[in-house]
Amino acid sequence: MTNLPTVGHFISGHRQPSTSGRTAEVFDPALGVATKHVALANQAEIESAIKSANAAFPAWRDTSLAKRQQVMFAFRELLNARKGELAQIITAEHGKVLSDALGEITRGQEVVEFATGIPHLMKGSYSENASTGVDVYSTRQPLGVVGVISPFNFPAMVPMWFFPLAIAAGNTVVLKPSEKDPSAAIWLAELFKEAGLPDGVFNVLNGDKEAVDGLLTHPDVAAISFVGSTPIANYVYETGTKHGKRVQALGGAKNHMVVLPDSDLELAADAAINAGFGSAGERCMAISAIVAVEPIASALVARIKSRMADIKTGDGTKGSDMGPLVTKVHRDKVASYIEAGEKAGATLVKDGRKVKVDGEGFFLGPTLFDNVTPDMSIYKEEIFGPVLSILRVNTYDEALALVNSHPYGNGTSIFTNDGGAARRFQNEVEVGMVGINVPI
């Protein structure tokens, strides 16, 4: 175990070995074995990453928008040409199948493409004679050093939600990836350097709570972007704002899908499979609760169940449909939810704990519960695994009330052929984002 390679940091344009003496194991979830260690930064390493970003800021802020745009275009081209390599890295540490890994890179690449429009995005505004004889203008300016703290489930896409735009806008960045899958971030930083990004503009600091706290409290960090679980999001928001930083912190999720009696059940079942079991349910937009408005629940369950039989769970590099979960701890936690659902009296239609996969990886097959009720933990809590719950209700009003009373949000989708029902859904569902599928 001790001769495993260690993923260090990327500071001032170079890979930096770990000096803290603190490390964590990084697993290949499909094999179930540790394949690397990751450095867990100490105070000196935190200081070094922030100092590097701070030193690079004045020159990068003063670099023309045209030049920054050129670097973004070059980064986009390199990423597009070499995304296959990045997908392999993601699959080897996260476990998701290669097509899911490529999908997340594509979503991240879209942000890079958006950031190539930075000259336009940085435009200010001008109002003549806002008050008598007074003209008013506003400009967009970079803030300085920005900290990005990201979760395990999208080791490339979530960092790419933030660092391309932050950097294109003239900020410098210290990214603290998840310690469960740290290599994608280092690969992206090296690629960005190859695209012409000056040293120090983009730094990767690997670590745990100590590194996060370092970013949240350091006087030279101006802003924080965080994505992860809700308790940590709350902590990051409170601590960062207390230290005078601008903070955006995105937390956990539980997404509903409402299926009305007039909907196309084949389409709804396909969507449930893709949205429930893609990336083994380790997605903040994964569908977790399906609210079936009677009398279609049994017909929907039958369709989902029959499709589940075709899902091949296995190593993400070997043509499987669904890979393992990220760690044994997480696999066991998701399995404990299945046990809790059974104990609470839900009908276990398909039990993912019984899946047969070669090897010792952190596998759990797709799982389906029927007759789930709102008081059950499998409904109330974020499971973050391949577990779908069917809740049966009798009316559309009941479905809307259920969705709106859930403490978690992120997205909800509706299946119906009735445009009026869809419109009502759009106006009355309170959770963040609404996707409406009206197959008419």
* Catalytic (active-site) positions: 284
Q: Per rule CB under 6 A, is residue 250 in the interface with ligand NAD?
A: yes
| Cα 87 to Cα 142: distance, rounded to the nearest angstrom | 31
Q: Which of 19, 88, 106, 229 binds ligand NAD (CB under 6 A)?
A: 229
| Cα 259 to Cα 304: distance, rounded to the nearest angstrom | 13
Q: Cβ of residue 92: shortest distance to ligand NAD, in angstroms?
A: 17
Q: Per rule CB under 6 A, is residue 408 in the interface with ligand NAD?
A: no
Which span (37-45, 64-72, 251-259, 297-305) binds ligand NAD, by CB under 6 A?
251-259
Q: Cβ of residue 204: shortest distance to ligand NAD, in angstroms?
A: 12
Tell me the CA distances in angstroms from 184 to 65, 250, 291, 333, 364, one per residue in order.
Answer: 27, 21, 37, 25, 24
Q: Per rule CB under 6 A, is residue 384 in the interface with ligand NAD?
A: yes
Angle at 244 between CA 238 and CA 250, to 5 degrees: 40
Nearer to ligand NAD, 208 or 351 (CB): 208
Q: Per rule CB under 6 A, is residue 331 in the interface with ligand NAD?
A: no
Q: Per rule CB under 6 A, is residue 227 in the interface with ligand NAD?
A: yes
DSSP result, 284-352: TT-EEEEEEETTSHHHHHHHHHHHHTT--BS-TTTT-SB---S-HHHHHHHHHHHHHHHHHT-EEEE-G
Q: Which of 40, 56, 212, 269 binds ligand NAD (CB under 6 A)?
A: 212
Nearer to ligand NAD, 8 or 252 (CB): 252
CA 381 to chain centre: 18
Q: Per rule CB under 6 A, is residue 208 in the interface with ligand NAD?
A: yes
Query: What track of x and - describes contact with ligand NAD for positions 267 through 306 (by CB under 6 A)?
Result: -----------------x----------------------
Tokens coding 203:
């730094």
Nearer to ligand NAD, 108 or 170 (CB): 108
Query: What track of x and - describes contact with ligand NAD for positions 129 through 168 (by CB under 6 A)?
Result: --------------------xxxxxx---x----------
- Extract long-range pairs of 303-310: CB within 8 Å, 24+ residues apart: 303/265, 303/266, 303/268, 303/269, 304/269, 304/272, 304/273, 304/368, 304/388, 304/390, 305/349, 305/350, 305/368, 307/269, 307/270, 307/273, 308/273, 308/277, 308/350, 308/366, 308/368
Q: Cβ of residue 166: shortest distance to ligand NAD, in angstroms?
A: 17
Residue with smallest beta-carbon separation from ligand NAD: 228
| Cα 206 to Cα 177: distance, rounded to the nearest angstrom | 6
Interface positions with ligand NAD (CB under 6 A): 149-154, 158, 176, 178-179, 208-209, 212, 227-229, 232, 235, 250-253, 284, 382, 384, 410
